[in-house]
Amino acid sequence: MKDGLIFKKIINKEISANIIYEDQIVTAFQDIKPKALVHILIIPNIFIASSNDINETNKHILAHMFDIAVKIAKKQNISQEGYKIIVNCNKNGGQEINYLHMHLLGGEELKSLY
């Protein structure tokens, strides 16, 4: 799994990204290797390695990430037709970067894994 340093560099504006939204808690930007017409990553501004590391002190961040995902879906005009929100956890769960992140995908029909 890749180190999450790239996400920290995006948050700190050390490398460029097409940032869609940012506030004190999260940053959202377009994925550089999109899997759908709309593919946005939403990341916490503090380091959390994976969903396994959500606890009493930081669980509000995950709720905020979902709230922002819904707001972005509406702004991107994908909320009516539908979208996916995906959070992968560790290697077997498909997490490629060691930093909690949420994928917002939409803009076209997305196939289900089940």
Q: Are strands 97-98 and 102-106 parallel, antiparallel or unpaired?
A: unpaired
Domain range for 17: 2-106
Does the residue 84 lie in any domain?
A: yes
Does the residue 45 lie in any domain?
A: yes
Task: Give the domain CATH number at 53.
Answer: 3.30.428.10
Question: Which pLDDT does position 25 carry in this prediction?
Answer: 98
Residue 94 tokens, joined:
């498909």
Residues forming a β-bridge with 14: none
Compute the mean pLDDT over every residue in the chain, rounded to the nearest whole number.
95
Instruction: Report CA Rg, the chain.
Output: 13
The answer to whether residues 100 and 44 touch, using CB atoms and an 8 Å cutoff, is yes
Question: Beta-carbon neighbour count of residue 105 at 10 Å?
Answer: 20
The answer to whether residues 15 and 112 touch, using CB atoms and an 8 Å cutoff, is no
Does the residue 10 lie in any domain?
A: yes
Question: Which pLDDT does position 1 carry in this prediction?
Answer: 74
Per-residue pLDDT in tens (0 to 9) along the chain, 114 residues: 788 889 999 999 999 999 999 999 999 999 999 999 999 999 999 999 999 999 999 999 999 999 999 999 999 999 999 999 999 999 999 999 999 999 999 999 998 765
Number of domains composing the chain: 1
The residue annotated as part of the active site, out of 39, 60, 64, 101, is 101
Does the residue 113 lie in any domain?
A: no
Residue 59 phi/psi, 5-degree rounding, is -65, -25
60 is annotated as an active-site residue: no
Q: Rounded to whole angstroms, what are the CA distances from 58 to 34, 41, 62, 80, 103? A: 28, 19, 8, 30, 19
